[in-house]
Amino acid sequence: MTAFLAALLLASAQPAPERRIVPAREFVVRVDSSENPPYRTLWASRDGGRTWTIAAEAGVEAEWGEWAAGAVRCTVRVPQDGAWDLFAQLGDAVSNRGPEPRPGTPADPRLRIEVRPSDVLSWTEPRGAAVSWQGGQAVTLAWASPGGDVRERSVEIQYAVEGEPWIPAAKGLDGAGSITWVVPNRETSRLRLRLAGTSRSGYPVSAETSDLSVRGTLRPNVARARALYDRARVLHAQGRLDEARLKYEEALQAWADFGEVYNDLGKVHAERKDPAKALEYFLRARKACPSDPTPYVNAARARLSLGLLDDAMLDLSDALALGLDAHERASMLAAETLRALARGDAARARAACAMILKVPHAAPATREFARKTLALPEKP
């Protein structure tokens, strides 16, 4: 079978060092092949190739992509920083496979990797591992980009508990900033936070915290939370946004899974012209109330402000699937957001207009706009 060569997908005009330096634990390798290999296995070594282990057994995650243009890409995530040697074993669906790496088999020089976190992104709050939070507590998260080498609005904050998949907490952030975040109400000593972004030259950058501890609130004080929420809504209606925000946050400290509070906190930040923070709370509202379409619509509006147009379309599609008939206000906002999305890209415009016609309570003028747009011939 064709011999397979692997190389990191990392352009550099400099001579190759002894090990390729990557700034994050998640990176991409590329395996060149003249044909599509059905069998794909990644091996890993921590001792320079003296011993080899199948990647999954070494705690290395490997997600193979589609074969295209003579190559197949693999997204790799290693559990620790430091030196890693990788070996790609490929073959057909029967038995014609490349050999397994034997003890002492050297890695291809282009797959001798050192994971060395860069200072492109770094956490300033929280600092260190000696952090213990209360479930439902409102805390400040802060980060920086010492070199300023991060694309605008490319940063996403994610969190994971007990090694579970990463959950998005906020998107569309700049390389330096801070947000108020409500700690998940789950007892754990293994909460992690991650910054994931894109450098100005186009490669992924990230920064993770150490394991953090959370003391779960066993019994929420629902009555107190509702009383605080009612007071916050009055302040909100009066335009006293700072006072309303504090009351909403107090309500979350009493009941960390109060979905309506997350949604209204998102509205506060949207009114303060801070769509990134607004999106964070709308995403939390969706998680707390996954069957309520309103946070999906609000998240779409925040993403529109951040220029995340495809994500906004997905949010509105989900809102439609959940049903907007009983949500007149959210339905009207969904239609207007779709109309705003029906600009620029022709394919997205037609998709947005097709969705408008499915939205109940859409304004007549918005429906007419959708009909006229769909009646236009497609551009060649």
Q: Quick one: pLDDT at residue 380?
A: 45
340 confidence band (pLDDT: 50, 70, 90): very high
CATH 2.60.40.10 in the chain is located at 5-115, 122-215
Query: Would you call 324 helix, strand, or coil by DSSP?
Result: coil
Hey, what CATH topology would domain 122-215 get? Immunoglobulin-like (2.60.40)
Is the pLDDT higher at 89 or at 204?
89
Q: What does CATH list as the number for 5-115?
A: 2.60.40.10
Residue 334 in this model has a pLDDT that exceeds 90? yes
Distances (CA, A) of 231 to 113, 200, 227, 281, 282: 56, 45, 6, 19, 20
Report the range out of 76-90, 111-125, 223-237 with the highest average pLDDT: 223-237
Q: Quick one: pLDDT at residue 2?
A: 38
Is the pLDDT higher at 277 or at 338?
338
Can you list the alpha helix ranges (DSSP code H) found in the chain?
222-237, 241-254, 259-271, 275-288, 294-306, 309-322, 328-341, 346-356, 364-375
**What tens digit of pLDDT does each residue of 223-242 get?**
999 999 999 999 999 999 99
**What residues have CB less than 8 Å from 10, skipping those under 6 apart?**
20, 22, 27, 203
Q: Quick one: pLDDT at residue 22?
A: 82
**For the ranges 23-37, 55-69, 347-361, which has the lowest average pLDDT?**
23-37
Going by their DSSP bridges, the two strands 177-182 and 138-144 should be labelled as antiparallel
Query: Would you call 322 helix, strand, or coil by DSSP?
Result: helix
CATH 1.25.40 in the chain is located at 291-380
Residue 8 in this model has a pLDDT that exceeds 70? no
| pTM as predicted | 0.53
Whole-number percent of the chain with pLDDT over 90 = 55
In the CATH scheme, what architecture does the domain 291-380 have? Alpha Horseshoe (1.25)
Q: Quick one: pLDDT at residue 108?
A: 84
Task: Write the burial class of residue 358 (CB in 10 Å: 0-12 exposed, 13-18 middle, 19+ buried).
Answer: middle
Residue 137 in this model has a pLDDT that exceeds 60? yes
Q: Quick one: pLDDT at residue 118?
A: 64
Residue 272 in this model has a pLDDT that exceeds 80? yes
Supply the angle between the helices 294-306 and 275-288 in degrees, to the nearest 10: 160
Radius of gyration of the chain (CA): 24
**What tens digit of pLDDT does each residue of 240-256 get?**
999 999 999 999 888 88
Is the pLDDT higher at 164 or at 84?
84
Per DSSP, 58 falls in state G
Q: Quick one: pLDDT at residue 233?
A: 96
The verdict on whether omega for the bond into residue 126 sits within 30 degrees of 0, i.e. cis, is: yes
Residue 12 in this model has a pLDDT that exceeds 70? no
**What tens digit of pLDDT does each residue of 274-331 get?**
999 899 899 999 988 999 999 999 999 999 999 999 999 999 999 999 999 999 999 9
